[in-house]
Homo-oligomer: A and B are copies of this chain.
Amino acid sequence: MEKLHTEQHLKSSAFISDIVIGMSDGLTVPFALAAGLSAAVSSNKVIITAGIAEIIAGCIAMGLGGYLAGKTEQEHYESELKREYLEIETMPDKERDEVKEIFSAYGLDQQAQDLIVSQLSKNKDHWVEFMMKFELGLEKPDINRARNSALTIGLSYCVGGMLPLSAYFFTSRPVDGLTVSAILTTICLFIFGFFKSKVTGQPPIKGAFKVTIIGVIAACAAFLIARLVS
């Protein structure tokens, strides 16, 4: 039981989950874009150019966007931390009441609440750390993690996006490119969905179908609408 417990609570590493995030969108959007264009243009070159432009744009939006979001989260944490220290200094009674409220919600009585507050308030760092986590739900963000995460997501998006696009490099007509791309990407989406579900602890076959279906629906919709437009 102990082993089961540990294994099943196990979170997949942050690195793997970043690869999953990037590759998930990377396999879907450029695949669907290329499928859509296949319905509308007569040259693979346009599809390849559009695909590469999209991959670059998506990669920068996810990567740089993720990095700046990470920095903002860091700044937010720092400013809330300062505020909590200030509040403990300037209105300790209000903060004591907030601690009590947290525990009264779980059915702890007055005596237990008072004991917790008196011990917690002995050490300011513990007290602030407690309020950050239990009142505000904030954990100290790791700034290196934000940067690495942004990089991993961006690169995974590129790798994921080049897969469906590669079919158009080795074929000469959009219809052939689309056929190869659809077969290749459907297989990749299924395999990817399988492993994604494995690492996130979901039923793998069901997860594989979910991921594949999203990609296929996106590609079909893009194809149909592009045909309507053009």
Q: What residues of chain A have their CB less than 8 Å away from a CB belonging to chain B? A: 1-2, 5, 8-9, 24-25, 28-29, 31-33, 35-37, 40-41, 45-46, 48-50, 52-54, 56-58, 60-61, 64-65, 68, 72, 75-76, 80, 83, 87, 90-91, 94, 103, 106-109, 111-112, 115-116, 119-120, 122-123, 126, 129-130, 134, 136, 200-202, 207, 210, 214, 217-219, 221-223, 225-226, 229-230
Contact A115 B106 (CB under 8 A): no
A64 nearest CB neighbor, chain B only: B214
Judge whether B119 and A53 touch: CB under 8 Å. no
Q: Tell me if A29 and B106 are in contact (CB < 8 A).
A: no
A120 → B minimal CB distance (Å): 6
Q: 17 new A-B pairs (CB below 8 Å) besides A32-B57, A40-B53, A72-B200?
A: A1-B91, A2-B94, A5-B83, A9-B136, A33-B50, A36-B56, A37-B49, A40-B50, A41-B46, A49-B229, A53-B222, A57-B222, A72-B207, A76-B202, A106-B129, A107-B126, A108-B116
* Pairs of residues from A and B, 8 with the lowest C-beta to C-beta distance, nearest first: A36-B53, A32-B57, A60-B218, A53-B222, A40-B49, A28-B61, A53-B226, A50-B50
